[in-house]
Amino acid sequence: MSSLAAPAPALAPRRARLADLPVLLVAVVWGGSYLAAKGVTTTHTVIAVLVLRFALVLPVLALAGRRRLRALNAARLRGAGLLGLVLGGIFLLETYGVVHTSATNAGLIISLTMIFTPLAESAVRRTAPSGAFLAAAAVSVAGVVLLTQGAGLTAPSGGDLLVLGAALARTLHVLLMARIKAVQDADPLSLTTVQLGGAVLVFALLAALPGTGDSPWAAAADLGPAQWAGLAFLSVFCTLFAFFVQMWAVRRTSPSRVSLLLGTEPLWAAAAGIAVGGEHPGPAGLAGAALVLAGTAWGRRTVAA
C-alpha cells in the first residue's frame, strides 16, 4: 500500500534505520500469519474468515478517522474504493493459496513481490533499477529458495499459482496507487479505512452467494479459543498494524526499501515454523536465512532512502 507519486524525502542513516524497524516488525508478524491462517481457515471457511478478519478492525478505523472520512471527496472515495477491490482480490488469492499449498511454498512465492514492486516502481517513474539493487534482490531470492527447500519445497500446485497471482496483484495495487492521482495525497487513515471497507464488501457479497462455503456466523460459532486468538492476531497485527506501518514507512523511505524489508517475511515464517510448527529447515535452510538477511541489508543500502 505505497504511494509512488513523488520520491520520499531523504533521511539521515540513523532516522532511516529507525524507520526500518516497524517495517521489519510487520515482516515478523506476517511470517507468523501463515501458521495462524492455517489454524483458523479451511477450504470451506476462507471467505467467512476474511469477513471476520476485516470486520473486526474496520469499526475501529472508522471511529478513529470519522472526521477525516467525511472530508474525502468523491474522487478520492472512488479511487480508494477501486484499491479496496484489488485488495480484496489479493487476500482471496493469498488465503485460498495458503490453504492449498505449504507455508514454505507460499512464503517463497509471495517474496517475489520484492522483485515485482521495484520493477513496477521503475516502470512508473521511467527509471532503471540499479545493478546493485538487482544483485541484492537476486541474493535475497536465492536465499528464500534455499530456505524453503531446506524446509521441504513441494512441486508447484494450484495453490502455488494462486499465491503467485496474489504477488502479481500486490504489484498491481502499487501501480494503481501511483496512477490514481486522487489518492496520492489522501490521508493514510481514511485511505486504509475505505480500502478495507471495499474489501469487506467484496467478501460479504461472495459470502452471500450459494456454494462459497460457510457463512461468517457459522464459521464464528465453530471457532474455539485458540482459533479466536489466531483470528485476532490476523486482524489486529497482520491487517491493522501492518497497513498503517506500510503507509507510514513508504512516505518516509521508498517502496523499494520497504519491499526489501518485507522480503524477509519467509525468514520469519520459517522461524515461526521451527518454534511453533516443529519444522526443521536443515543446513540449506539456515544458509538461505543468512542470504536473505545479507541480501536485504545490501539492498537497503542501494535504495535511495
Task: Provide the pLDDT for residue 231.
Answer: 93
Instruction: Provide block-wise average pLDDT over 10 residues at a time, the chain (305 residues).
Output: 39 64 90 86 91 90 85 88 93 89 73 76 80 86 74 66 89 82 79 90 92 90 91 90 78 71 77 73 77 77 62
DSSP per-residue string spanning 181-228: GGGTTS-HHHHHHHHHHHHHHHHHHHHHSTTS-S-HHHHHHH--HHHH
Query: What is the per-residue pLDDT for 225?
Result: 92
- Residue 181 confidence (pLDDT): 79
Q: Is the pTM of this model over 0.85?
A: no
Residue 38 has a pLDDT of 82
**What is the distance of C-alpha 39 from the center of its chain?**
19
